[in-house]
Structure 1
Amino acid sequence: MTISSTPDGVAVKPRHLRFDVRDELKTLWHGNDAFRTAFFNALSLQFPDGEQQFINAVRLYRDQITDPKLKEEIKGFIGQEALHSREHKDYNEALKARGYDIDALDARFRKHMDWVGRLPPSRQLAGTCGAEHYTAVLANAILSHPEWMEGATPTMQRLWRWHAIEETEHKSVAFDVYRACVGNERLRRIVFLFVTWNFFKYTFINTCSLLKTDGKLWSLKTWLGGLNFLWGKPGVLRKCLPEFMAYFRKGFHPWQQDNRRLLEHNLKELEA
């Protein structure tokens, strides 16, 4: 019985790309805008440890999967996430070289990840599904609205597009493993509430810390521009809100948002 739900035409395979972003991260790389730059940098800070935890959670159930297609996709998922973790480690080291206190932010987040790693396997996998939902929705938004990255340097645009493409490709892998091996809908929803709190908490804390180093933490202009970017126009988070909340629907599945054509278009752009 096939339990993988990744649709035809979507391959979960890692791309061995490298991005030298050291020069970019010496600047306010997103259109010389302090908030937009800090927001994306804050997301990056969560990826190395977060994505390693995703890998660990799926590995806990890998031996229970018999579907050859899903087994191959788990392999691809682990490869993609490992490469994302590697590139964002380099990204975060470049932030550290600029003078941000990355060690303190890493230590705080790693303490949380260590706690997650001690939870029962079912909760770890449910947390991975919830976090993967956030990355998939944000990835879809970035791919759907290239104007949101206007003003960013070409290298940074390419890095974030690559990450978004692969998050989209493997968006149902952990979910399919959960559905096959755990299948507890109530647990899935409850854990998503905790994931939501922690995702926004650490993104906010990291953004504030980066802005503080830039001398912009108490800048009203910076925060008004940032709130407009996230909740006004273009409203990055505002436009994602319905898709975030779709996770609570009975019978939800990541590929109910079928964005294969968007994926195909962006793959052509990435390869170009």
Structure 2
Amino acid sequence: MTISSTPEGVSVQPRHIRFDVSEDLKSFWHGNDAFRTAFFNALSLQFPDGEQQFINAVRLYRDRIDDPKLQAEIRGFIGQEALHSREHKTYNDGLKARGYDIDAIDERFARHMRWVGSLPPSRQLAGTCAAEHYTAVLANAILQNPEWMQDATPAMARLWRWHAIEETEHKSVAFDVYRACVGNERLRRIIFLFVTWNFFKHTFLNTCSLLKTDGKLWSLRTWLGGLNFLWGKPGVIRRCLPEFLAYLRKDFHPWQQDNRLLLERNLRELGSV
């Protein structure tokens, strides 16, 4: 019986690409804008531990999957997430070299991840599905709106595009494992609310920590520009909000947002950069 819902033509395979962004991280790499730079850096700080937890949660159930296609996609998912974790660890080391207190930020998030890792397997997997939904929606938005990254340095724009492509490719893997092995729709939606709170909380706290080091924490101009970026124009969060909330539908599935053509186009463009 086929359990995998990854569409025909979408391959969940890791790409062994390395990114040297150490020089980019010495500046406000996103258009010399402190808030935009801090926002994306704040997301990066959650990836090494967060994506390792995603891997751990799926591994708890992989032996219960009989579908060869989904088993292959689980291997691809683990490989992709491991490489994301590696590249963002290098990225975050660059932030530390610039003078940010990354150890303190990491410890704050690591405490949360240790708590998540102590939960029952079903809750860990539900949390992974919810977090994967956030990354998939943001990934789609980045791929669909290249102007959001047009002021970024070329190396950083390429890194974020690569990550967005692979998050899109494997966006249903954890969900398919959950549906096959747990299948509790009420739990799926409840855990989503907890993940929503923690995702935005840690992104906000990380952004504040970075802006404080930059001397921009109390800059009204920085925050007004940031609020416009997230909620005004282009409105990164505002534009994603309907897709974020779609997860609460009883019939939700990640590939209801069918962005295969967008994925194909970005794959071609990534190879030409």
1:207 corresponding residue in structure 2: 207
1:66 CA displacement:
0.2
Question: SS where residue 63 of structure 1 aligns?
Answer: helix
1:90 corresponding residue in structure 2: 90
Gaps of 5+ in 2: none
In 1: Cα distance, 2:151 partner to 2:130 partner: 31
Gaps of 5+ in 1: none
- 1:1-272 mapped onto 2 (5 Å cutoff): 1-272=1-272
1:229 CA displacement:
0.2
Aligned-residue CA RMSD in angstroms?
A: 0.3
1:15 CA displacement:
0.1
- Residues 224-253 of structure 1: per-residue CA shift (max 9 Å, x gap): 000000000000000000000000001100
1:131 CA displacement:
0.1
- Residues 148-193 of structure 1: per-residue CA shift (max 9 Å, x gap): 0011000000000000000000000000000000000000000000
In 1: Cα distance, 2:94 partner to 2:225 partner: 25
- Residues 36-62 of structure 1: per-residue CA shift (max 9 Å, x gap): 000000000000000000000000000
Task: Give the number of aligned pairs.
Answer: 272
1:144 CA displacement:
0.2
In 1: Cα distance, 2:171 partner to 2:266 partner: 16
1:2 CA displacement:
0.2
Q: Which amino acid aligns with 2:211?
A: L
In 2: Cα distance, 1:249 partner to 1:210 partner: 35
Taking structure 2 as the reference length, the TM-score comes to 0.99
Identity of aligned residues (%): 84
Taking structure 1 as the reference length, the TM-score comes to 1.00
In 2: Cα distance, 1:229 partner to 1:244 partner: 18
- Residues 103-123 of structure 1: per-residue CA shift (max 9 Å, x gap): 000001001000000000000
- Residues 61-88 of structure 1: per-residue CA shift (max 9 Å, x gap): 0000000000000000000000000000
Question: SS where residue 43 of structure 1 aligns?
Answer: helix
Question: SS where residue 66 of structure 2 aligns?
Answer: coil
